[in-house]
């Protein structure tokens, strides 16, 4: 039969037709053993669509020997080796001597048990092992030798036993049975795929051969989408949050978190061990014209001795600490990078234009897990950059924001954040837990943080972040966060609580 000399599906289709002209049926596993699966399937589909061939896919599980099975096929089964050693010891053999003779404790243990089960050996009155029969048939070795040669086993029970003993593994193999179709021919006639307006105009469609439509084929993915509610109702632009690993510079230093702050301890943050440090902040592409060196120097100066009206933290700031890699503890690191980019943009008045950014993605904290805390969770982050913003405006916006999720009656509590001043924690009453639960944090970014980036003094920025899980706990009256995220999630609960349900009618 034909064995293709190329992986091209076009030439392979010709080979299939040539082989079928000499035989009623073909098997891909024997007639085209060297063909790549993708090329073979493409050639078969091409010929089948023209009714030149008919084919059926055959899915099989083919047995192959594991390394231990290969050794048994070559040297004999464990039980046969044990029997042979015992048989040669005319006066019986102790278990210790058997282990010494075999040289492998595992083989001795397994082989001894199997030999006893087959009644090939037994114990004499003195406790020594003796042969119970004169000769044996090593059926295990014969089965494995057959599988090694033919990759077949006619006895399903035997195959299951060999697989259980991890002597054999099953590997899925796909093959095709091929036969002639109603329009079989040795020549592949070129077909027109689509009917065009030009063919209709010049009349060539009357003599053209068209490929038949496959009404069972799936349509092309149109990549349709929908606006996020923050975009649709509140005019926000979504930030890219595809970096789970951040440098200490973006995760802490740019946000004015001092290097001796408790949040930077191993107890609160997951640090990366390999590689341990990042490169210096730098342009990510040729269109990135921002001055990262000046920004780096500004951040360092604010930390050490103060700048832009700040007196600083008064400590010796360490470059190595700033470049340590961490699993991001918040998506505010992304917000800082976006505000830095905003500083290089110019509106009609020559100043950076107002902007609204948001993100929803996973963050990581080295925390003890309890009813309201996880080591990883989703954070919804938002910033509003504009001129003449006030704290009252932030409180009003938070009321609107949470109100759109059905969460009302908010409580605000003054708080401390390294990167916002003033700062507020946001609470809502959880009826299931019967107490106020913190659902978010907010504030106005510190001037020295923004001016380090090159943003003007009169540009103010609201910032807030919230765990996506906690507002959801309030909405669905969930008392334990582990019922919402992680391996303990009840799939029935998810089915009963969809965000959107489409009824059949």
Question: What is the tens place of the pLDDT at every residue in 125-173?
Answer: 888 888 889 889 999 999 999 999 988 888 889 999 899 889 999 988 8
Does the structure show a pLDDT above 90 at 10? no
Q: Where in the chain is the domain with CATH 3.30.930.10?
A: 234-496
In the predicted model, is pLDDT for residue 391 greater than 90?
yes
Q: Between 480 and 118, where is the model more confident?
A: 118
pLDDT confidence band for 470 (50 / 70 / 90): low
Strand partners, 59: 174
pLDDT digits over 53-73, tens only?
999 998 888 899 999 999 999
CB atoms within 10 A of CB 266: 8
Which whole number is the average pLDDT over 340-358? 90
Q: In angstroms, rounded to a whole number, what is the distance separating the alpha carbons of residues 484 and 490?
A: 8
pLDDT at 106: 82
pLDDT of 225-245, one tens digit each? 655 444 455 678 888 888 899
String of DSSP letters for 351-384: SPPPEEEEEEEEEE-----BTTB-SEEEEEEEEE
The per-residue pLDDT for 505 is 43
8 Å CB contact between 89 and 98: no
Of 86-95, 161-170, 383-392, give the lowest mean pLDDT range. Answer: 86-95
> Which residue has better confidence, 283 or 109?
109
**Secondary structure letter of residue 3 according to DSSP:** -
**pLDDT for position 501:** 44
CA distances from 203 to 197, 210, 261, 270 (A): 10, 14, 80, 70
* Contacting residues for 12 by C-beta, under 8 A, at least 6 apart: 4, 6, 32, 35, 39, 40, 42, 43
CATH number of 234-496: 3.30.930.10
Average pLDDT, the chain: 84
Task: Please state the pTM of the whole predicted model.
Answer: 0.50
The confidence score (pLDDT) of residue 194 equals 77
Q: How confident is the model at residue 40 (pLDDT cuts 50, 70, 90)?
A: very high
Residues of the chain with CATH 3.30.1370.240: 1-77+138-213
Class of domain 1-77+138-213: alpha beta
CA atoms of 464 and 394, how far apart (whole Å): 9
Q: Measured between alpha carbons, how far is 427 from 440 in angstroms, rounded to an integer?
A: 7
Give the model's pLDDT for residue 3: 43
pLDDT score of 504: 45
């Amino acid at each position: 039969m034909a064995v293709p000399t190329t992986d091209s599906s076009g030439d392979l289709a010709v080979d299939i037709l040539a082989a079928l002209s000499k035989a009623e049926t073909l098997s891909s596993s024997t007639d085209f053993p060297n063909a790549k699966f993708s090329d073979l399937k493409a050639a078969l589909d091409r010929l089948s669509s023209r009714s030149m061939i008919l084919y059926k896919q055959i899915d099989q599980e083919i047995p192959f020997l594991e390394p231990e099975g290969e050794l048994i096929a070559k040297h004999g089964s464990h039980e046969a080796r044990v029997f042979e050693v015992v048989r040669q010891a005319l006066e019986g053999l102790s278990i210790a001597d058997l282990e010494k003779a075999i040289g492998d404790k595992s083989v001795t243990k397994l082989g001894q048990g199997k030999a006893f089960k087959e009644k090939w050996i037994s114990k004499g009155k003195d406790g020594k092992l003796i042969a119970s029969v004169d000769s044996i048939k090593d059926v295990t070795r014969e089965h494995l030798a057959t599988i090694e040669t033919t990759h077949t086993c006619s006895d399903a029970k035997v195959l299951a036993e060999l697989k259980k003993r991890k002597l054999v593994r099953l590997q899925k193999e796909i093959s095709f049975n091929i036969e002639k179709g109603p329009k079989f021919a040795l020549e592949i006639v070129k077909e027109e795929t689509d009917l065009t307006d030009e063919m209709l105009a010049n009349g060539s469609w009357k003599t053209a051969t068209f490929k038949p439509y496959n009404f069972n084929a799936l349509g092309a993915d149109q990549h349709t989408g929908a606006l996020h509610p923050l975009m649709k109702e509140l005019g926000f632009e979504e930030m890219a949050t595809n970096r789970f690993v951040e440098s200490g510079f973006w995760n802490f230093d740019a946000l004015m978190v001092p290097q001796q702050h408790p949040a930077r301890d191993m107890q609160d943050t997951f640090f990366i061990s390999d590689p341990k440090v990042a490169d210096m902040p730098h342009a990510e592409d040729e269109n990135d014209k921002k001055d990262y060196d000046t920004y780096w120097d500004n951040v360092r100066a604010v930390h050490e001795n103060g700048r832009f009206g700040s007196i600083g933290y008064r400590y010796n700031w360490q470059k190595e600490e700033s470049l340590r890699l961490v699993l991001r503890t918040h998506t505010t690191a992304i917000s800082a990078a976006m505000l830095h980019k905003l500083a290089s943009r110019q509106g009609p008045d020559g100043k950076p234009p107002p902007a609204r950014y948001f993100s929803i993605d996973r963050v990581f904290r080295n925390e003890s897990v309890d009813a309201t805390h996880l080591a990883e969770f989703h954070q919804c982050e938002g910033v509003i950059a504009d001129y003449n913003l006030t704290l009252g405006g932030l409180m009003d916006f938070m009321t609107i924001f949470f109100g759109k999720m059905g969460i009302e009656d908010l409580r605000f509590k003054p708080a401390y954040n390294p990167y916002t001043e003033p700062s507020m924690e946001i609470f809502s009453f959880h009826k299931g837990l019967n107490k106020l639960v913190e659902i978010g944090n907010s504030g106005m970014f510190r001037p020295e943080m923004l001016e380090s980036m090159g943003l003007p003094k009169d540009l103010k920025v609201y910032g807030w972040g919230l765990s996506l899980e906690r507002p959801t706990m309030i909405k669905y009256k969930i008392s334990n966060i582990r019922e919402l995220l992680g391996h303990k999630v009840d799939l029935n609960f998810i089915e009963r609580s969809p965000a959107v349900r489409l009824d059949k009618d």
